Structure 1
């Protein structure tokens, strides 16, 4: 009987997959900001476990050098990265950066013989995704996917992002293995309309900023009403036990936020000096401007986003645009004065008037005129469309 070990079907399949990866997939990554760095690091960790690597490029070389320490190949230029990659992920801060980088990428894509799948993961306006896909279609061997992600930098670090996919289904299936190395779940929109993923992302981000607006208002009310905010947090943890509610509440409650910062400072190890960044007011404003514009373009109404926009702008104007966007509560604390003796007096006077059956001095005609004026004023205010900032 032969003693030669037999290769199992599973092992042959694994070896075949590795051979496929080595022969065909050459991954490139552009953009190593707060989100991109952790996403790329997790993907490189997976590739390193299979003796593979990827090419990385970033405007500031320091981040690329950090990725080199994790096993990635540092591309000195975008030209070098395009020449050595047939799958390119991009994670960039805003529409202007995406448009600028893709103008270069699309030009270079027209000069190479191999096909490239471009995976754009940033939060951008739907029209820009459509534009990029159309421009890339001039060289039909290339593919453009719009795959935005949900999650803060800490979530990206833990490889627990939520991915949203749109574009060519075959290309998406090919890349799903890579997506899973950076995420806890994937939502396939099953559409070739890449703008749809951008709209989906803005809807999702609206729920996030809407939650923050709600928490900021409620926690400010608790503070003004002299209700212990830490007790309110216990209620939130018991009644709304979701990470977004509890984490943003902790960031907004001064005593807890201060303690977290002290604890984080003490626990910071010399081995891991990665900062735990948040999502800045500046980036939050960019997203809120996009969702308000989408509402304007589609005939929807987003009064909550309008409020959040005003509060974020107030924080930015205080010179705090680089702070976590949960800092929006600061503008509410300033804008909402503590109840004064005058307010109490007004309430008392109002109550007495109710007891007396109203202000008898006013004639019915005067009252009617006041009501009409109030209705006219409300109508005029409601009729005015909200001001939207152009991008």
Structure 2
């Protein structure tokens, strides 16, 4: 008679398959590879930190993560936070390319990504002259236009034994800090398998595989961000309507928590409700405008109208313009504006104060 299957083991295997579609790579268990990380912004910083900490705790013989950032102060801050032996500062982008087996990047925009990858390629071309290139995987986690992934893949594939994976991530900086990102991937299968087990669960709660076409993951990222941005626009509109109707935004926010308790709706609704527009603690409005430009370009190329996204884009522009005037007058409260501040666009269109909800014209009056 066959031995009964272990229910706990079956549950663990099933749970793993739901959160990571890749079986473990050929090397038994997690193994020590030299990881590099380029870009320590609002997302890159917690991702690099979580990678370093997780590997130190779970990977036998783990090697410190090699990091580089344009501003070295962020590297120093990360080293101080993680403690000795988890993170090491790289001398340059070229140093990362030459020394690391798996290189992650999380950068501000397409042009910065393109510049860094050209530096990677040139460094490895020079390195090849004196030493054969060992196997390397380059993983781009930023939000970029899909055709850039094709460009990067072609650039990296000219280097022997080098592979490219497009792997943008979903989640605000708070989700990145809590290692709760949703990770999407497209590109070379063996490379994705290796990368998936480096990122999950160290950085994210789930990996989604979108196949071998490197354009698919960045395309999916733009589609997902269009849903988030469209939701922000809807929340901004209904909160503004509630203020003008004398109901107030607070009961509507509670309605969201009662009926549609999605984390983004709740968190961004809370920002709008309490005017918490500090972009250093969220997602900067310049990044939101960059993403909306990419989404509108994609929609235009595919003849797909997206009026809600168009409205959100215009309201972000309005918010940024209004805030620029506050900066000029010395009245600005934040160094960086969060993209949830797009509610300023709906407020001024309705005759309300853009950034101070306490100044609404028709404050709610409790019924007798």
TM-score bracket for this pair, using the shorter chain length: 0.7 to 0.9
Aligned counterpart for 2:92 among listed residues 77, 96, 101: 77
Q: Which residue of 1 aligns with 2:256?
A: 236
Q: 3-state DSSP class of the match of 1:311?
A: helix
Which has the larger share of helix?
1
Q: Which residue of 2 aligns with 1:246?
A: 266
Give me the whole-angstrom Cα distance separating, in 2, the residues matched to 1:109 and 1:82. Answer: 7
Q: 3-state DSSP class of the match of 1:37?
A: helix
8 Å CA contact 1:56–1:67 kept in 2: the answer is no
Matched, 1:104 2:151: no
Structure 2 counterparts to residues 57-72 of structure 1, below 5 A = 57-69=68-80, 70=82, 71-72=86-87
8 Å CA contact 1:31–1:92 kept in 2: the answer is yes
Q: C-alpha root-mean-square deviation of aligned residues, in Å?
A: 2.0
Which has more radius of gyration? 1
Q: How many residues align?
A: 304
Q: Which residue of 2 aligns with 1:292?
A: 296
Q: Which residue of 2 aligns with 1:32?
A: 40
Matched, 1:21 2:31: yes
Aligned counterpart for 1:207 among listed residues 223, 227, 232: 227
Matched, 1:163 2:177: no
Give unpaired runs (5+ residues) of structure 1: 1-12, 262-274, 339-391
Structure 2 counterparts to residues 143-292 of structure 1, below 5 A = 143-180=163-200, 181-189=202-210, 191-254=211-274, 257=275, 277-292=281-296
Q: Which residue of 1 aligns with 2:350?
A: 336
TM-score, normalised by the number of residues in structure 1: 0.74
Give me the whole-angstrom Cα distance separating, in 1, the residues matched to 2:79 and 2:254. Answer: 44
8 Å CA contact 1:209–1:305 kept in 2: the answer is yes
What do residues 238-286 of structure 1 show as CA deviations (whole Å, max 9, x unaligned)?
11111111111111113xx56x99xxxxxxxxxxxxx962101110000
Q: Which residue of 1 aligns with 2:104?
A: 89
C-alpha deviation, 1:235, in angstroms = 1.1
C-alpha deviation, 1:333, in angstroms = 0.7
8 Å CA contact 2:280–2:338 kept in 1: the answer is no
Give me the whole-angstrom Cα distance separating, in 1, the residues matched to 2:203 and 2:244. Answer: 42
Give me the whole-angstrom Cα distance separating, in 2, the residues matched to 1:178 and 1:283. Answer: 26
C-alpha deviation, 1:184, in angstroms = 0.9
Give me the whole-angstrom Cα distance separating, in 2, the residues matched to 1:291 and 1:154. Answer: 24
Structure number with the bigger relative contact order (C-alpha 8 A, sep ≥ 6) is 2
8 Å CA contact 2:68–2:96 kept in 1: the answer is yes
C-alpha deviation, 1:228, in angstroms = 2.5
4+ long deviations beyond 3 Å: none
Structure 1 residues 313-322 or 34-43, which shifts more? 313-322
